[in-house]
Structure 1
Amino acid sequence: MTAVLYDVPGPSAKRRYLTGSIVAGVVLLAVLAVVIARLAAQDQFTAEKWSALVNPTDSDFVQVWALLANGLQNTLVAAALAMVLSLVIGTVLAVIRLTSAPWYRWAVVGVVELFRGLPVVVLIFFASRVLPEIGVDLPIMWFLVIGLTAYNSVIIAEIVRAGVNSLPAGQREAALAVGMTRGQTLRLILLPQAFRVMLPTLISQLVVILKDTALGFIISYPELLQTGQIIIQNLDNPIPMYFTIALIFIAINYALSKLAEYMERRLSRARRTPAGPPGKTLAGAEMTGD
């Protein structure tokens, strides 16, 4: 059988791929073995290092998990604020770019491209250093939120714009033909469909926002990772602590991903569900005709 996008590898190519895979696997296993050996030499796998996290009878167990819970709360609060602000500002930017006149569209495009090109860590650091210098005195959490919002809002703006542009042009033309304004067409017809089309991508970007809250450590915001680093300084258990923090992030991100899949299935079923029982309209029309 002939492949469409690539040639089917022959016997010699398959042997090369298999050999390369085996060599790469051996190298990775060797590196992993060296890392584990070094960590074991530093007593990072002893029960004492894990006790504060898994043993309720340990004297530090309650305090450690209380600190982690507080750090997780700070992470979720900052992430929730950044998500909401990014969605709102991103949608507004997308609408402005879609409806702007040519003579000032360059300004909107310039703002979007500027913030897209800057690393999010730079925006967080910039907000925490520059805003206080100009008299904007805010709690430290808001500097993290502002930095995350500045970066992710322009990403969401591009996602929403791509979703609107992916819709059939006939929908816009039909709405304008029945007398709807350009703003009404965008707000009532195009944006709801664009959000449904781009929902998986939007959820993925929200997951990115949640993970990027870990960058709050550069401004000493007590989010989950920063809290874990403080605990490590006192208990000297980096491997157990980072492993636990990683599991917490994986669980939250997995839940968000499953939420995206659930919402996508619900929306797909809603689009496939007919407006009413088959034949009802026809029967009604026949009765009216009689």
Structure 2
Amino acid sequence: MTTTALYDIPGPRARGRHLTYGLLATAVIVALIGRVLHLLLDTGQFTYAKWNPFAYQGIQELLLRGLGNTLKAFSLAAVLSLALGAVLALGRLSEHRVLRWAATLVVEFFRAMPVLVMIFFIFVALQVQPLPALVAGLTLYNGSVLAEVFRAGVGSVERGQREAAYSLGMRKTQVMRHVLVPQGVRAMLPAIISQLVVVLKDTSLGFLITYEEFLHAGKLIASNLDYDLPFIPVVLVISPIYIGMCMLLSWFATWVARRERRDPRTGGLEVAPAEPGTLLPGGGPPTAPKP
């Protein structure tokens, strides 16, 4: 058993306290959930009249069409944001002062601009259709944020890696593509996925410019007097789907991170440590490993 100076194994009394705190927290959470369910039942949110609309084929098609439009807007905005972020990050890392200043100005301007303001400006002032306006606003904002993520990820690689690559005669583009970016991806990945989750959630702003996305479809159902205004049922249907899509993105990030930690030259196995003495300059060829 290994121990560190920063952590002591809890004793019997500490474990008892932790168990007590856990039971109290669980009891509080259960009580809150029970209170919420009681309020929902007391106000008739689970009655047949409020949930019956979801059995209609027209309502189901409306929700599916809205979900498809949400995924369409997210896909376009995510791809374009990643591309714009990469271009702006290259500009920020450029050795040419003019390019660096121009990229910095663009990044700082669009990062400071509220995304809703940009969407409204593109939609109203430039008279752009709802989908392009939504995608453009999301791309400008999230692309600027991702540019800083990419720049920070590349900057997190040790300076010696860059210097060693240059000493081998590699050009700057080769150093960036083969040395800095592959190593910086591990540092970038959590922030990239977090920003893509933001893109997914911000697609709901499309209902403000009449884009028929998932939230817009739910709003149409919830505001229909024929269905007795089923606001809470609509929320209970839409929210888990948004949460599920965000969790799917997080799972995908975890899967990619696992693959990045493996060496492709070894067929997915961890890289074995080198034999002592194999990297000594001027020595003979490394001996074959013992069976």
* 1:48 matches 2:41: no
* 1:213 matches 2:203: yes
**Cross-structure match for 1:264:** 257
Answer whether contact 2:263 2:271 (CA < 8 A) is retained.
no
Question: Which structure has the highest helix share of the two?
Answer: 1
* 1:168 matches 2:158: yes
* Runs (5+) with no aligned partner, structure 1: 6-17, 133-137
**Cross-structure match for 1:202:** 192
Once residues 74 and 53 of structure 2 are traced to their aligned partners in structure 1, the CA distance between those partners, rounded to angstroms, is 27
**Cross-structure match for 2:104:** 109
Q: CA deviation at 1:37?
A: 6.5
1:7-18 mapped onto 2 (5 Å cutoff): none
TM-score, with structure 2 as normaliser: 0.77
Deviations along 1:119-150, one digit per CA (max 9) or x if unpaired, are: 21111111111222xxxxx4321100000001
**Cross-structure match for 1:252:** 245
**Cross-structure match for 1:8:** none
Residue 229 (structure 1) aligned to one of 215, 219, 233: 219
Deviations along 1:213-270, one digit per CA (max 9) or x if unpaired, are: 0111110100000010011122211101111100111111111111111111121133
Once residues 161 and 151 of structure 2 are traced to their aligned partners in structure 1, the CA distance between those partners, rounded to angstroms, is 16
* 1:239 matches 2:240: no
Name the aligned partner's letter for residue 232 of structure 1. Answer: A
Once residues 244 and 222 of structure 1 are traced to their aligned partners in structure 2, the CA distance between those partners, rounded to angstroms, is 17
SS at match of 1:198: helix
Deviations along 1:142-195, one digit per CA (max 9) or x if unpaired, are: 100000001000111111111000001111111212222222211232122222
Aligned-residue sequence identity (percent) comes to 43
Name the aligned partner's letter for residue 120 of structure 2. Answer: F
Once residues 40 and 285 of structure 1 are traced to their aligned partners in structure 2, the CA distance between those partners, rounded to angstroms, is 74
**Cross-structure match for 1:81:** 76
Q: Return closer, same or farther for 1:184/1:38 CA change in 2, 3 Å cut-off.
A: same
Name the aligned partner's letter for residue 52 of structure 2. Answer: S
Q: Return closer, same or farther for 1:174/1:277 CA change in 2, 3 Å cut-off.
A: closer
Name the aligned partner's letter for residue 107 of structure 2. Answer: V
Once residues 206 and 72 of structure 1 are traced to their aligned partners in structure 2, the CA distance between those partners, rounded to angstroms, is 17
SS at match of 2:77: helix
Once residues 36 and 198 of structure 1 are traced to their aligned partners in structure 2, the CA distance between those partners, rounded to angstroms, is 40
Once residues 274 and 150 of structure 2 are traced to their aligned partners in structure 1, the CA distance between those partners, rounded to angstroms, is 35
TM-score, with structure 1 as normaliser: 0.77
Q: CA deviation at 1:278?
A: 8.2
Once residues 197 and 43 of structure 1 are traced to their aligned partners in structure 2, the CA distance between those partners, rounded to angstroms, is 49
* 1:181 matches 2:171: yes
Q: What RMSD, in angstroms, separates the aligned Cα atoms of the two structures?
A: 3.6
Once residues 103 and 4 of structure 1 are traced to their aligned partners in structure 2, the CA distance between those partners, rounded to angstroms, is 48
Q: Return closer, same or farther for 1:286/1:117 CA change in 2, 3 Å cut-off.
A: closer
Deviations along 1:60-96, one digit per CA (max 9) or x if unpaired, are: 2x21111110000000000000000000110111011
Once residues 180 and 199 of structure 2 are traced to their aligned partners in structure 1, the CA distance between those partners, rounded to angstroms, is 26
* Runs (5+) with no aligned partner, structure 2: 8-19, 279-284
